[in-house]
Structure 1
Amino acid sequence: MTRTPTDRGYAFIKNNLDGTKTVYVAGAVAGTQPVDVFATHFSRPGVQITPGVHTVPAGDMVRTSGIVHVTSTDGDFVLIRGLRSGPGPILGA
Structure 2
Amino acid sequence: MKQLTVCWAMSIAPAILSWSAIARALPPPDDPPEEILRTEIVLEARSPIDGEPLTPAEYARLQAELQQPNDPPQLSSDVRYNIFLLRLLKLIRTVTPF
- TM-score normalised to structure 2 length: 0.21
- Structure with bigger gyration radius: 2
TM score, norm. by length of structure 1 = 0.22
Q: Which has the higher contact order (CA 8 A, sep 6+)?
A: 1
Please state which structure has a larger fraction of its residues in strand.
1
User: Greater share of helix residues, 1 or 2?
Assistant: 2
